[in-house]
Amino acid sequence: ELVDSIDRADPSQAGHAVRVAALSTMLGSSIGMGVKELRALRVSALLHDVGKILVPTEILSKNGPLTASETSEMRRHVVYGGAILSRIPVLAFAASTARWHHERWDGLGYPDRLVGHAIPLYARIVAVADALDAMTSVRAYSAAVSLEAAFEELESESGAQFDPLIVSAVGPLVGASGFQDSWVSLANHMESMPIAA
């Protein structure tokens, strides 16, 4: 229900959470995570934007550039999400991903300006998956780009915005035959899975 709440809060982002969860799981698997870690990563990724349920709808659905105050409020979704999940004992492990998935490897992210490995691994993975999905999806404020163009952008931000290890794991996935179909298929499968699975 939390994932459905996120989609209802921001209908333009419908399916984003499951696509990010699917890609995060693929990335986690490619860097050697075990089954328990992958389950926790999947749930963390599904709920990474849960704080958006507290952001005003008029900001979430705005078709143009956000004002400075609107941007500030939008950025608070990470604080809201961390707070929401930290209050639910069975989901508290996902609070750090919700709070820190917009941190940057170079320390210029938000809300806490964490640097490098101080950013939890799940949040670093979700940051890459979130960006790849955002770039390859049609948004109210931008057109979709190809997987290849999105990967080039990730590579250009490797070591700045993104963890180089995670970016390096994207290349073989994107380059694999049938990657997009596998990603969509896994996302569709995850959509029907209970959060605790």
pLDDT 10s digits, 31-43: 999 999 999 999 9
pLDDT tier for residue 142 given thresholds of 50, 70 and 90: confident
| Mean pLDDT, residues 4-14 | 76
Q: How far is residue 54's CA from residue 37's CA, in Å, rounded to a whole number?
A: 28
Q: Return the CATH number of the domain spanning residue range 2-191.
A: 1.10.3210.10
Q: Which residue has the higher pLDDT, 25 or 177?
A: 25
Q: What percent of the chain has pLDDT over 90?
A: 71
Single-letter amino acid, residue 77? H
Residue 190 · residue 22 · CB < 8 Å: yes
| DSSP secondary structure string for all residues of the chain | -HHHHHHHH-GGGTTHHHHHHHHHHHHHHHTT--HHHHHHHHHHHHTTTGGGGGS-HHHHT-SSPPPHHHHHHHHTHHHHHHHHHHTSGGGGGGHHHHHHTT--TTS--SSS---GGGS-HHHHHHHHHHHHHHHHS-BTTB----HHHHHHHHHHTBTTTB-HHHHHHHHHHHHSTTHHHHHHHHHHHHHTS-TT-
| Mean pLDDT, residues 140-145 | 79
| The predicted structure's pLDDT at residue 135 | 94
Q: How far is residue 24's CA from residue 31's CA, in Å, rounded to a whole number?
A: 11
Instruction: Tell me the β-bridge partners of 142.
Output: 139
Looking from the CA of 93 toward its CB, the CA atoms found within 13 Å total: 15
pLDDT tier for residue 140 given thresholds of 50, 70 and 90: low
Q: How far is residue 45's CA from residue 193's CA, in Å, rounded to a whole number?
A: 14
| The predicted structure's pLDDT at residue 153 | 97
The structure tokens listed for 195 are 């959060």
- What sign does the dihedral 163-169-174-179 (CA atoms) show? negative
Q: How far is residue 170's CA from residue 150's CA, in Å, rounded to a whole number?
A: 10
